[in-house]
Structure 1
Amino acid sequence: MPASRPTILATSGGFRYSARLRWEVGALTHRAVALAGVTGRAPRVCLLPTAVGDDHALVSTFYDNAWRQGWAGSHVSLFPMPNVDDVRKHLLSQDVIWAWGGSVAGLLAMWRLHGVDTALREAWQDGVVLTGVSAGSICWHVGGTTDSFGPELQPVTNGLALLPWSNGVHYDSEAQRRPLFQRLIADGELPPGYATDDGAGLLYHGSELHEVLTERADARAYFVERRPDGSALETPLPATRL
């Protein structure tokens, strides 16, 4: 059963510390799975670990989590070749697709090389819930700020643009993020957009923001736009604590 409308939950979170595993599923990802509305069977959740080079330890921990959550877990890796015969068919058969963080520039390049970008757009339009953290949040937008090219953050402006906004991640935990995101919007290099503190997520229905969700009490999200005088205006948004 697909979601009733195109749905994206773009986050700076979705996983947390675990005493038994490298990490475990967080409240934001639990909400993404719930949004798929699956009943009577295990939800099909597919991990896209492209942004960390299809890291084997990450994939293994995902399957540990999927087993514990009662999900029908799968993943699509692209290195050294796709691990499934038909990437499009596999992605369109999922209930939730979860894109992990890392290099958003590398992620976008590999997805386009293998046609994952067009498959994801089709899946989104068909009601597969898209979610992700960091690079896996920026990718759904027009662009944002990235450390894909080195420790000095740079803009990325060639996102999938399923959402017509820019996206700032790790807004409260990495010092370069906030000022660069604001400057890029003020200069017109990025369109207006939404930023998330660690532990916050942006729930979109269609291309419009529906709700801000948080898995941390002090996490916030913000709308940043360009003022007529060319400066940036940041507006905190109301949020629902999960």
Structure 2
Amino acid sequence: MPADQPTIVATSGGYIAGRRTEIEFGALVHHAVELSGARRPRVCHVGTASGDQRSWQANVDEAARVAGWDLAHLNLFPMPQVLDVAEFVLSHDVVWVGGGSVANLLAVWTVHGLGPVLRTAWERGVVLGGVSAGSICWYLGGSTDSFGPELRVVTNGLGFLPYGSGVHFDSEAARRPVVHEAVRDGVLPETHCTDDGAGLVYFGTRLVEAVSERSRGGAYVVVRDSSGNPQEESLDIRRL
């Protein structure tokens, strides 16, 4: 049962410490699943940004068992583990993309033609979501440490959402000034940003809600004003 409209949940969170497992899925991932409308959700986890690490996938598998979801991984390293990637992705209710290097993620996805597959899934009501690199990828671009500790801005995101992305706004001091500078210089357009634990929900390309799985932390929109200066606005946020 797909969502009734194209839906993206772009976040700086989603994983929490588990009670008896290494991790559990936080309220942000649960919210993405709820938006899919699926009773027994089929979740596709994509770990390209961290090189499809099998040890991390084992943690994600345990988290899925705790949640009671059917979960499968789309691996692209060393090769896709399925013959038909499009068919595999479209057989799920939710695609959740993990964090890591967004630059590497976008390069590998391009090689394997995953962008058009994900667009088709989005248009058909498969809920797309993710954390950090798995958030930036849905936008035109955003700030990243993919190239080293000095943040740079990528501008070759999938562009399903016609904005820039700013993640980890409250936990990494360099994130905010880099985004402000990129918006000021026109490198990024209007940019949507999240503190750790926060997420943004889009129906189509329309931002409909900011949510958080934590009691603190916010979400923001940064725009360039008529004088060419960056202006940041805090969004109302709902605590999940």
Is TM more than 0.5 here?
Answer: yes
Instruction: Could you tell me which runs of 5 or more consecutive residues in structure 1 were left unpaired when the two chains were aligned.
Output: none
1:157 to 152, 155, 162: 155
- 2:70 is matched with 72
The whole-number CA distance in structure 1 between the counterparts of 2:64 and 2:219 is: 28
Identity of aligned residues (%): 53
1:43 to 38, 41, 44: 41
- Deviation track 1:12-41 (CA, whole Å, cap 9, x = no partner) reads 0011112422221000000000110013xx
Task: Give the letter aligned to residue 218 of structure 2.
Answer: R
The whole-number CA distance in structure 1 between the counterparts of 2:216 and 2:78 is: 41
Q: How does 1:87-236 map to 2 (within 5 A)?
A: 87-236=85-234
**TM-score normalised according to structure 2 size:** 0.98
The answer as to 2:13 corresponding to 1:13 is yes
**TM-score normalised according to structure 1 size:** 0.98
Secondary structure of the residue that 1:222 maps to in structure 2? Answer: strand
Superposed displacement of residue 229, structure 1: 1.2
Q: How does 1:22-33 map to 2 (within 5 A)?
A: 22-33=22-33
Task: Give the letter aligned to residue 17 of structure 1.
Answer: A
Task: Give the letter aligned to residue 146 of structure 1.
Answer: T
Superposed displacement of residue 217, structure 1: 1.3
The whole-number CA distance in structure 2 between the counterparts of 1:73 and 1:215 is: 21
Task: Give the letter aligned to residue 122 of structure 1.
Answer: T
CA contact (8 A) 2:191 2:222 kept: yes
Secondary structure of the residue that 1:80 maps to in structure 2? Answer: coil
The whole-number CA distance in structure 1 between the counterparts of 2:180 and 2:82 is: 40
Task: Give the letter aligned to residue 12 of structure 2.
Answer: S
Superposed displacement of residue 169, structure 1: 0.1
The whole-number CA distance in structure 1 between the counterparts of 2:27 and 2:19 is: 17
